[in-house]
Structure 1
Amino acid sequence: METLEQNIAIVKSKIGEAAAKSGRSPEEIHLVAVTKTVPPETVQKAVNLGITLLGENRVQEAGEKVDIVRGNVQWHLIGHLQKNKVKPAIKLFSMIQSLDSLGLAEEIEKRAGEIRRVMDVLIQINIGREETKSGIDADDAVEFIKKVSQLPHIKIKGLMAIPPFKEDPEEVRYYFRKMNDIFQNIKMMQIENVEMNFLSMGMTHDFGIAIEEGSNMVRIGTGIFGKRK
């Protein structure tokens, strides 16, 4: 418990430092605790310590935790979503951070419409153009967002990205800066049914740099819960 409490305090302190460097308040930065492989009882301890946003990579694993963990929390899907998992996903999550194709958007629209729900999503951008990662190419982002914005049961709330991993986080700064440029450009367009509220980028290894370059939502797993077994 003490270690978890200390980890959260350290992460929040680093968020505060990075926010100050970018001229913002720590309150503007949303901390998503990534609970992949973390048992529900440990997740509950984190919630009891003030964590309110929880991120899961897999729909099935979230389903095993959502009804167990108590408190005023929201669950975000941060991993790749397969179309055959959309129906349970829209019931479990308050936000899907990984919308990465028109086919997936159409399935979300269909399933959300069935239960008369508007699903909040972030558009995942493959900022490093890596073949191993999902996401929309940066050059296609505006056109894609305009298409998805026409779906009445989806609400675009911003962008998400996972840049290439580099041992030195400074080498990733370029990708974060590029993401923020895309984010600000789309925000200025004021596309109907699109709210550029969240720029979700930065994980345990590089979240300080991400915040300095404009991120207002970071996804931290190891930094809070320690290394996964």
Structure 2
Amino acid sequence: MTDNSTYPQAETIEQLRQNLATVRARIDQACVQAGRDPQEVRLLPVSKTHPADYLRLAYAAGCRMLGENKVQEAYQKWQELDDLADLEWSVIGHLQTNKAKYVARFASEFHALDSLRLAQTLNQRLELENRTLDVLVQINTSGEESKYGIDPEQAHELIAQLGQFQRLRVRGLMTLALNSPDQEAVRRCFIMLRELRDSLQASAPEGMQLSELSMGMSGDFELAIAEGATIVRIGQAIFGAREQPDSFYWPK
């Protein structure tokens, strides 16, 4: 469980605004140290477990896209906040095919595409909704069985087949790094994703640009930026530590 003193709870618009500014400054500094343009890295605030009323404060603090792990939780919040017309939603967690209809209805992007079957289902649902969706393919770079995502060696075959789905705009790759105090072990996950992306781009279907690398969270995003991240998914450093581990909110 995260030490709550590391990430104190943000309870006001001003506290949220300050936390967003602090994280953005850290992103910018990490970019400078890596010799990168800070404009290359997008901050995605991750709002999982926080209720819709609280997220109105995040919107007032400047958030215009929020990341959610559980699609039904995100869908409910989207409905409750439908008066905020320019608030977009990014679904970043594992998705079962029978819940693809929700993502197709409201999400702007999806970071956890991990099978051809899910791609087919999403494409069919998007056709019904007359929408398109930005997607990233999730890669298991840590080798942990507890993590979702495809094995790196399966990525070439999947990417080659995704060009047939006109409703899916394949933008890049996503990973969850090893949860470890060993920074070099964490860094290797990020290096693997970048190198895999570069390899995939050389053989990707014509017109597919794999420009995005979604990697890095509150505890490791500076390492991710050093290795090429273009999207960092930050929750606790903005909103505060969750009181319970994920398993409390979403039992297996």
TM-score bracket, normalised by the shorter chain, equals over 0.9
Q: Aligned pairs, how many?
A: 229
Kept in 1, the 8 Å contact 2:194–2:228? The answer is yes
Identify if the C-alpha distance between structure 1 residues 71 and 29 changes in structure 2 by more than 3 Å, giving closer, same or farther.
Answer: farther
Kept in 2, the 8 Å contact 1:77–1:97? The answer is yes
Partner of 1:46: 58
Structure 1 residue 3 displacement after superposition: 2.6
Partner of 1:100: 114
Output the amino acid matched with 2:36. R
Distance across 1 between alignment mates of 2:102 and 2:120: 15
Partner of 1:3: 15
Cα-to-partner distance string for 1:137-179 (whole Å, 9 max, x where unaligned): 1111111101122222222111100011012434311111111
1:90 equivalent in alignment to 2:104: yes
Distance across 2 between alignment mates of 1:170 and 1:7: 27
Identity %, equivalent residues: 39
Over the aligned positions, Cα root-mean-square deviation in angstroms equals: 1.6
Kept in 2, the 8 Å contact 1:95–1:121? The answer is yes
Structure 1 residue 112 displacement after superposition: 1.3
Partner of 2:191: 177
* SS class of match (1:195): coil
Partner of 1:63: 75
Q: TM-score by structure 1 length?
A: 0.94
Deviates more, 1:181-190 or 1:153-162: 181-190
* SS class of match (1:80): coil
1:36 equivalent in alignment to 2:52: no
* SS class of match (1:136): coil
1:17-166 to 2 correspondence within 5 Å?
A: 17-69=29-81, 70=84, 72-166=86-180
1:12 equivalent in alignment to 2:19: no
Partner of 2:223: 209
Instruction: Identify the match of residue 167 of structure 1 among 155, 166, 181.
Output: 181
Q: TM-score by structure 2 length?
A: 0.86
Name stretches of at least 5 consecutive residues in structure 2 with no aligned partner. Answer: 1-11, 244-252
Which structure features the higher share of strand residues? 1
